[in-house]
């Protein structure tokens, strides 16, 4: 053990120790004292102390960040992260939550902090501010002993498994030496080929995972990633928040389900920006509350699926403004809320069809190139210049996609084409055993606070089972166990040696 000193006084002739300890440097050291006793170190003892301090500094990393170990580290600060923390803390796993500090430009708490009133979270009959709800999440998790650090995890090291007796053909594309959850799911289908021999099932775990934050180096036996995703926003005059003189959260939003029923827009015209399935869904949802819904799209066709596009185009409350872009937002001096927008409309390309998608939506990797090519073709087909129009709307909703906070996971976990973490079907298990994903970082479909909280519960229960199996010496050898689901959706190899989680 490394001795701990008051005032970091290492080499004085008189030093007060904080706790019983012994200098451990590979030789028998006579220095062993009780707490608060005063000693006079010998030269041999001082040499032992110097070596111990050097070894401790090396273990902290080259940057000297203070090392910290936990059974469960949770990355994120929203409903998924704190729900996972509540369950992990009640299971006496002493979790640590790294909620981040303005990660991706969002305050600790995630997207809920950008929402005004939350009206659809069970248990809160009266509307509650999003930032107040996230604070209650934090208070709840801390009540059971969760430690919360307002630090951003900047890098991770999940490469802690050895590969024995396997060749490169049995490794995954991510380089982790384990099959992806999709591959494992495919192998459990009838007629699917068996997993390669000598693959992930033979891997041995060398040690815990490593996380580096802006303040410290952390090791963890299991990790739950709940970093969420941020909605993509357009930038134009008036689109910022109140401090920027804009109307964000005062008529401009990126979540129709969250803000669509607001009194600000009930029985009033609104607009949705986008042309994909999300835009169609939000537009149809808004028809329940708004008097009219405009879909503003910069092309002359929709990228949405044909079924979704047909439903939207058939709705009498929905009108599509083709080849249009928002240029400015205007507010009411009396209320300070959005009351109109300025759009730029271009003439339709000559002879071009208008309506359904010309091609299926491109993955994120190719979306930029596809959008650029489509934009160039659209520009080439214009018959004239742009025309500016003022559109009276009290609500403007961005539906142009989300960006998951997974940049720091590149090369560590399997991600899909859009950057979301890939998990096993019906589970939070990722491509790396012992690493779990919850919330919007793995959910491209629902993206709601309540569904994020549910997946956080799943991740904590699965992490608890994993740690029980790890302690029993089973989990590392069953690294790719997501292929065969056992009781409660857990791999059969884990459930064979792990007790059921507490109620």
Indicate if 157 belongs to the active site.
Answer: no
Helix (H) or strand (E) holding 281: helix 277-286
**Distance between CA atoms of 48 and 23, rounded to whole angstroms?**
6
Neighbours of 99 (CB within 10 A): 27
Which residue among the candidates 258, 323, 394, 443 is catalytic per the annotation?
Answer: 258
Residue 54 Ramachandran class (φ > 0 left, ψ -120 to 50 alpha, else beta):
alpha
Q: How many CB atoms lie within 10 A of CB 162?
A: 12
Q: Rounded to whole angstroms, how far apart are CA atoms 426 and 259?
A: 29
Q: Indicate the SS3 state at residue 421.
A: strand
Residue 407 bears catalytic tag: no
Under a CB-based contact definition with an 8 Å cutoff, are residues 203 and 52 in contact? no
Q: Which two tokens stand for residue 455?
A: 């997946």
CB 62, CB 212: distance < 8 Å: no
| Residue where the block lists tokens 């079907």 | 425
Contact 436, 223 (CB under 8 A): yes
Of 29, 48, 217, 255, the active-site residue reads: 255
Phi, psi of 198 (to 5 degrees): 75, 20
Helix (H) or strand (E) holding 189: none
**Residue 255 bears catalytic tag:** yes
- Give the active site residue among 259, 414, 440, 443: 259
The catalytic residues are 255, 258-259
């Amino acid at each position: 053990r490394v001795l701990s000193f008051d005032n970091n006084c290492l080499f004085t002739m008189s030093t007060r120790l904080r706790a019983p300890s012994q200098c451990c440097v590979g030789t028998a050291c006579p220095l062993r004292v009780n707490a608060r006793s005063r000693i006079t170190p010998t030269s041999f003892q001082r040499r032992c102390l110097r070596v111990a301090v050097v070894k401790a500094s090396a273990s902290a990393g080259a940057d000297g960040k203070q090392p910290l170990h936990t059974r469960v580290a949770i990355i994120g600060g929203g409903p998924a992260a704190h729900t996972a923390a509540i369950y992990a803390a009640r299971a006496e796993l002493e979790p640590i939550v790294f909620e981040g500090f303005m990660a991706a430009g969002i305050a600790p708490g995630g997207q809920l902090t950008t929402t005004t009133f939350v009206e659809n979270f069970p248990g809160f009959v009266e509307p509650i501010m999003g930032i107040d709800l996230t604070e209650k999440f934090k208070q709840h998790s801390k009540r059971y002993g969760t430690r919360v650090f307002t630090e951003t995890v900047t890098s991770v090291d999940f490469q802690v498994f050895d590969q024995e007796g396997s060749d490169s053909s049995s490794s995954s594309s991510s380089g982790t030496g384990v099959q992806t959850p999709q591959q494992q799911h495919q192998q459990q289908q009838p007629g699917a080929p068996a997993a390669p021999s000598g693959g992930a099932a033979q891997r041995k775990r060398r040690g815990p995972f490593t996380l580096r934050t802006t303040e410290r180096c952390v090791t963890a036996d299991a990790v739950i990633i709940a970093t969420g995703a941020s909605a993509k926003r357009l930038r134009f005059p008036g689109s910022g928040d109140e401090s920027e003189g804009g109307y964000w959260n005062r008529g401009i939003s990126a979540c129709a389900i969250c803000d669509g029923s607001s009194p600000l827009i009930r029985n009033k015209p609104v607009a949705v920006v986008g042309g994909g399935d999300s835009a169609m869904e939000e537009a149809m949802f808004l028809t329940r509350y708004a008097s009219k819904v405009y879909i503003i799209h910069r092309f002359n066709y929709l990228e949405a699926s044909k079924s979704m596009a047909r439903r939207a185009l058939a709705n009498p409350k929905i009108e599509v403004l083709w080849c249009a872009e928002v240029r400015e937002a205007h507010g009411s001096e009396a209320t300070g809320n959005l009351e109109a927008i300025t759009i730029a409309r271009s003439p339709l390309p000559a002879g071009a069809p208008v309506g359904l998608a010309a091609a299926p939506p491109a993955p994120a990797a190719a979306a930029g190139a596809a959008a650029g090519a489509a934009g160039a073709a659209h520009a080439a087909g214009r018959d004239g210049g742009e025309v500016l129009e003022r559109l009276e709307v009290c609500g403007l909703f961005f539906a142009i996609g989300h960006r998951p906070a997974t940049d720091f996971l590149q090369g560590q976990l399997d991600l899909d084409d859009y950057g979301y973490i890939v998990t096993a079907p019906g589970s939070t298990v990722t491509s790396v055993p012992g690493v779990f994903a919850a919330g919007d970082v793995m959910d491209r479909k629902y993206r709601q606070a309540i569904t994020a909280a549910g997946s956080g519960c799943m991740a904590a229960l699965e992490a608890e089972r994993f740690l029980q199996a790890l302690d029993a010496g089973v989990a590392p050898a069953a690294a790719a166990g997501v292929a065969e689901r056992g009781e409660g959706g857990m791999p059969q190899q884990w459930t064979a040696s792990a007790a059921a989680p507490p109620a």
